[in-house]
Chains A and B, each alone.
Chain A
């Protein structure tokens, strides 16, 4: 079974609109972390936001927020007021187990977001 599922291969969004990128995960660990990364065409992975499994509040970083629904095992990324520079691949990733001593990230297949002027 896939540990990280991103069901939207591609999305087109009008500039200035909000966009939600879906991510569901599967783990039996109680302690885990969820990440979103952005990968522009240059190839470098850019960290956007992190949510720990024990965090009670949804994480926010500027225009990015993570809609964490633990019971549904869902960790959707919300980008408010999209900009042309947001066009990129977006990956959801998970680290299972305690944070220290475990750096392995499992990635989803990604969503290609295109912002239309």
Chain B
């Protein structure tokens, strides 16, 4: 079974631009969560989507948004990029089977804002 995939893996953007990151969960997983990882703030929860609906949201400004498609693929968008948005963005998917309660993480997208 293929793991969680994230595209692109690396991205360089300029302040003020917007960016869209993509995440394809493991086949059959309907929940997708997004996390931001920075050296200063560590790993922080952005939001979670389940069956195309945002089910949970972290404490981030409205510039950060996301969506989920009917095939469970998810995208997150950051508008008006700031230098502080430079981070590793991790996506995780979860199965409906709660036997393991595990979240499966993708390799991440490393975003650099200049």
Contacts and interface: CB of A to CB of B under 8 A. Distances in A.
Interface residues of B, number: 27
A44 to B, nearest CB: 5
Interface residues of A, number: 26
Interface stretch (A20-28, A64-72, A80-88, A104-112): A104-112
A93 B92 CA distance: 14
B33 interface: yes
A33 B44 CA distance: 17
B42 A107 contact: yes
A33 to B, nearest CB: 6
Contact of B31 (A46, A52, A103): A103
A11 interface: no
A70 B11 CA distance: 43
A14 interface: no
A90 to B, nearest CB: 12
Interface string B26-49: 000001010100000011110010
A109 B42 contact: yes
Chain B binding surface, main DSSP class? strand
Nearest to B58: A104
B81 interface: no
Interface in B67-99: 88, 90, 92, 94, 98
A103 B110 contact: no
Pick the 9 closest A-B CB pairs, nearest first: A45-B105, A107-B43, A43-B108, A103-B48, A47-B102, A44-B107, A104-B45, A103-B33, A104-B56
Given A103-B92, A105-B43, A109-B42, 18 more contacts: A35-B103, A42-B107, A43-B88, A44-B105, A44-B106, A45-B105, A47-B103, A47-B105, A50-B102, A99-B98, A101-B50, A102-B56, A103-B48, A103-B55, A103-B103, A105-B35, A105-B45, A105-B103
